Every structure is written in structure tokens, then in C-alpha cells.
Structure 1
Amino acid sequence: MTDRDRFRAVPQGRLSRLGALGQIVGGIASGVVSEGLNRLAQGERPHLRDLLLTPSNALKTAEHLSRMRGAAMKLGQMIALEPGELLTPELQAIFSSLGSSAHFMPQAQLGRCLAEAWGPDWRRHFRHFDMTPIAAASIGQVHRGVLSSGRPVAVKVQYPGVARSIDSDIDNVATLLRLSGLVPRHLDLSAHLAEAKRQLREEADYLREADEMRRFHLLLKDDPRFVVPLPVDELLRPGVLPMDFVEGVPLERLGTAPQAERDRAMQALAELALRELFLFGAMQTDPNLGNYLWQRESGRIALLDFGAVRPVLPESAAAYRALLRATLSGEIERVRGALLDMRYLSPAQVARHGKALDEMISTVLDHVLKAPGGQVDFSDRGPLVAVQARAQPIFLDRSLWALPSPDKMFLQRKITGMALLALKLRVRLSLVDMLEPHA
């Protein structure tokens, strides 16, 4: 898809966004019928879940979510972080494209947003403003410019109507998940949906994001591994966030860098996540790779997005510290107990699948604690494959699904994202040395 093809107006009204979701449902429904008839003709007995999660249906869903943007697209991005039991690699690749494939606002719509923020003569603030965005995601798109003072800036412009549509988008997507059968009926999602709405409202508050950017700038000012831009206060508005323009390349480019460079970058990001969890009391919980840039010559990492920063509740930090200590002890029973306390496991799962769960825990402990030379090799996917094989029947036993607290779910999103990045970059890390200071 060319940049020209990506210019589409953001649907703003409640009915227009509901209609866009209806198009997703209609497209998926026709795909389910077609695929189901095809499989029946081949003598198969298809299951609804398998028919819903075909690559063709995923492509339709990703494309429509990309057009909608907002909370609906954000939920699609979260699906892309699913670690493997629900989605095949092909489906993960499709949903992962949502990280950076949002459609752009047409320039007329963009101009109206900027005029609303800065007045009809908004161009007087700039020597240059590029109307084609350099990035586009779920909440807004980013433009490059140069202020009249000569200061290079990146300007994040929020999609119109996105903040108002958060509640209805999440309610509508939750209804689709229920109707599809992908979420077991016994699971009470009300607290998690309420927290998702709150989190996304905060992400859409650019004044708050600017505050968090300043806070992390101070927290990391003495750490030479990171670059944190500062907002342009005089042009800051609720729907427009100008900040220092930071040079760098997408973090994915690290995949072709020498081993030592990949290891250093991943260690920096992992140690930052640990400091957020146990020292800062605040964590940026969105691990989308588009939130980072890598500066190849210096090896520094630029942190670009602070909308998803959330406080770490003391009880959540204590629970993760208990899990960390249990892991370092090497005792399966302590790890299992910590996971039960956090509600990542349920007593019913332990009763029915206890042996497989203990084998999974043992595999992870051996990989972390018995790594040759203390270096955990994330290019060795053997332990992951073994864990996934044992997890599959547990995951499919949907009657036993349980959920941890909403706070832990958002923190785990970041932790899982860091683990998946380590796998993607095939790094080697001294995990025990990194974890012990926080035990």
C-alpha cells in the first residue's frame, strides 16, 4: 500500500464507527460461511473458532481497524502481543502490522485539526511543516517540522473524535468478542474493560503525556543509554503534542546488528522495565516497537511515547517481586504459588493440569538458572516450543480461564512485549545478574 492509498478520513460519529465495526462483522461472517462450506466439501468438520481466525478474516479485520484507528485499533495491537497459543505466526504477522499501518488523515482534515489547536494562521509558528506524516498509529499521527526559531520538532496530532469514541469502541469490540465465542462466557471482563477505557482516555490526554515525558526525562537524564525528547510547551494542546525531533532508525533494524550491539540494547530496555516496575513506581506499558528509535552510532535508544505510562500499585510491585524471588530460588512450588497469588493460574487449573504446569515452570527455571555461563540465549527457541506444547491443552480448557487484576494485565503487557523483543532480536542476557538487585 502506497502513502497515497493510506489517506482516509477518520470516522468520528458513534454511528459511523459502529457502521465500520459492522463492516468488519459482515466481512468476517461472509468469510466464515465461505471457508466453512469449503472445509465441509473437503470432508472436514470445522469449528467456529478456527473459522474466525483464518488469515483472510484477520486481513479484513486488520484493514478495517487500521481505517477506524482509535481504541478499536489499539485493541488489535494488543492482540498482536499474544504469545502464541491463540494466534498462528501468520495471524500474528497480520495483526502486528497494526503497529505502524494506520491510515493517514486527509490533509484537509489535518488542517482543520491544526487550525482548531493553533488558530487559522497556525503556519506562522513554523519555517516548515510536512503535511505527510512520518508515522501513524491508533491515537494519532506524527509530522516533522521546523519551528520559526529553527528548532526541529515532531508533532503528534490526535485523530478527531478518537477520545470521544473510546468507551463505545471498547464496548462494541467486547460485544464482538462475546458473540464470537473467543472469550468464555464465565469470564467477567467488566473491571478490565473499565480499566482499558481509563487507560486509553489517559493515552488520549496529550497534556498528561507531556507531563510524563518531562518526568522520564528527569529520571533518565543521567543514563547515557537513553534519549527522551521534551515537549514544546508554548504549542502544547490537548490534541497536539509537539516535541523535540530525535534522529534514529526503527528498533527492528537492530535485528541485523552485531550480537554485542543487540545484547546491549536489549539489556538497556530490560533494565529500564525493571526500574519502572520496582523503583520508579510508574511504567510505560505499551511495548509497540514504534515507540522506540535506535541511534546506530551511539547505541542509544530514543523513547518516544509516554501516553501509556501508568502508576505501579504497591501490591502489584510486591507480587512481581515475590514471583522474582520464587524464580531465583529455583523452587517449582514457590513459583506456582506466586502465580496462583497473582491469579495467573487458578486452583482449578492446578488441580487438573498440575503436572503439565510444573513441567512448564521447570523448563523455564532450567533455561534461566542453568544457562551456560549465566547467559540466557533467546535465539534458542527450544524451551519456548516445549512450554507452548504443554500450554496448549491448558489454554484450550477454556472453562478454567482466570484473569489477574487489570493493573497486572497492563504491566504484563509490557513484560511480555520485552520478552518477545528479546526473542525477535536473538539476544543473550545475564538474566540472573539483572534480576537479583530487585529481589
Structure 2
Amino acid sequence: MHRVSSLLPLLLLFLDISKSDATLTLKFVHAIWRHGDRSPSSTFPTDKGNNESTWPQGWGELTQEGMRQHYALGKLLRQRYDGFLSRAYSQYEIYVRSTSYNRTIMSAMSNMAGLYEPEGDQVWNKDIKWQPIPIHSIPREDDPMLWMDKECPNEAKMYAKVKKLPEVKKIEQEYGDLLKFLWDKTGLPGNIELDGMWRIFDPLNCEMKNEHTWPDWMNETIWADIVKLYDLSAMYYYYTEEIQRLRGGLLLGDILSRMQNRSEGTLDARQKMQIYSAHDTTLAGLLANLGALPEHAPGYAAAILVELLQSEDNHYFVEVYYRNDTNSTFSPVEVSECPRPCTLLKFGQRSRLRIPKDWYKECGLQPWYYAKPQTYLVVIGLMLAMLVVLLAIIAIYAVIQIKRRHERYIGRQLIPTDYADEDN
């Protein structure tokens, strides 16, 4: 009897949660995804069979397979949110922003083609089942929220310490022979360390997925070890909370702020979805700040969905879903310090310390460097031009004044005086 009574509160809690789940209404969605399949960003020195000319669009560009992946993701989002999102595109319902890379912009365009196939009066050409959807972007140098490679000196110092941690050195020692083999075969310069695995993984992964020829020293066994080491290196990139705060905290803050505004009625009620088309590091940074960094680095067209739901008694909840690649479905994410069902209030409380108040200052960037260097070159150039114009005006004014004084002086010399008249 005592055992039954002790389980009663848990049973009531379960029933209460089940009741809440049944009456929750979706109010807003944040979607963040990685671009689709692409060509390598670069390759290693000995990879002679694969260079920029062997890829139709050059380095780091979206492939046709990447377009298909995001078109399929758009169809999946339509299936998931049909009825919540109107079938007809509306600028008031959805806002799409991308980092300033061709591959992320084109991924967003491909995705929107799947999400919003034109119907009715939105059909503008009966031969094309497509309509243009605006994709917004800002220069990557001004985008620390989505572009994780934005300079951050303090984070770089923290990461340099992570690379020297005993657990990292232990992995490098354990796989020392393999690492040396890989560095010898690829001809990569620099130190042999776990952090450099991306320079090996990326070109080989792109070549495999696009049926390009691998180097003759590669095989499936070596590839499995490369993938394992790359996943470990990606995990250590977000190893501490201080690093996570500076690499992903801004995005977490943006999501939290928009959801709080939606719950408070200060966000346009017509908007239903905010979408960011970005990179694997963007997704990993957000997942790390949610306390849910995955075992494997985000694959092509990986996506995170952060949903805001409202109960009948006007309480708000946050649900997070993630799919790691094109072969997986969306699975719920357990947010650290906020067990499901995670209330918006609790989500905000656990997230607040992970959000930078002044990212530039916390990164150790000086105020004058807040904008991109090109901006300052333009400003300095304009200031110098204005100074030259000002000096020219002053010089012209001075010349005019000197000339006028000289003319007055000459005039006084030429005017006859009374004494001169008397002499004559």
C-alpha cells in the first residue's frame, strides 16, 4: 500500500503531462538547418585527382544532390506543418535568412521550392511548379550569430587550451600512428593534431558522396577511423560552456527572445516561422547550448526545429526536434535543465546564462573593430576626402583675402592726396 501511495504523485504528474500534451497548440517555429551536399571547401596537397576544376562550380558550392536534399526537406516541413502554415506563401507568415554563402542561399531556395509549390493565383507560369521566395542575408563578417568563423580572440584562446587537455592528448597518442600516416599521405602542413581532421575528412567525404576517385591509400577501414576522429574533433570544438556561450549563445538568445515576444503578444501574430539556413557549426553550437551536442557532427541538410506551444490555460512550452542527416527523421531533443514538457519560463531561466550580453566585448574585440575592416577603410577615405576639400576651401579663401588686401593697398597708393594737389 505504501508503495502504491508513493507512486501516486508520479502517476498524477504523468496524467497531467498527458493532458497538457493533448491540448497544446503550436504557435511558432524556429527552423535552423545546414546546407545540402556541396563540393569540398578545399583539398589536401597530394589529392591530385581532385582539384577545383574537377567540380563544376568550384570549391564549396551546392551540388544538384544538395538541391534535391533541401527540396525533400521542404516537402517534409510541408507535411509536418501543413495546416499551421498556409499552403499559399505569405510574407507575413515566414521569414528566411541565410548566411552569405552561395550554398546556404541556394539550399534555402531549394527548400522553399518544396515547402511552397505555387497554387491558384500564385501560379505565374503554368510550366514551372516554382515561385520565388525572398531569402535575406547580411555580410558574414557582420553575422556572428550564424557564422561561427567570425573572429573571436577570447574564444580562440579558450579553444587553444582545450587542444592541450589531457583527454585530447590521450586521443592523439592513441591514434598517433594513424594521424602520422594521414599527415604523411595527405601532405598537410602544420602540427599533427586532432583539430586538423576536418582538412582530411571534408574533401574525402565530398569525394565519396559525389563518386569522385579516392586516393589509392584510402579504404573503408581507414575511412571509419577518419569519421570517428572527425566527430571527436567536432565535439571538442564546443567542449566548454565558455566556448559554447560565444559559439552559439547569440543564436540561442535570438530564439528565446522571439519566442518570449510571441508569448507576450509583441511579435506580429501573423508570423509563424523563422528560418535560418546555415552550417554544421551553427547547428552544433545551438545543440551544445541546449546541452544536447550529438555524437556525430551534423550532416548535410541536418535540421533543428524549436517549437513554441500554448496550453489551454495560457502556459507556453518549448519542444526541440533534430534530424542529423537526410536519412533520419525528426526526434525530440532533451534540453538540459529543462525536462519535457519544458516550459518557456524554465527554458528562459536555463538559457539566460548562456547568452552573451555583449558578444564583441566578451570576445575581446575592441569597439573600433565592431564593424568589418572594409567599413573603416571607407570611413577613413571619406574623412580624408573631406579634409582635403576643407583644406582646399581654406586655401582658396586665404588666396582671395590676400588678393583683396593687395588690391586695396594698390588702390590707396593710386588715389591722389590733398598734399599732392597743393604741390601741383
Shared fold by TM > 0.5? no
Structure that is richer in helix per residue: 1
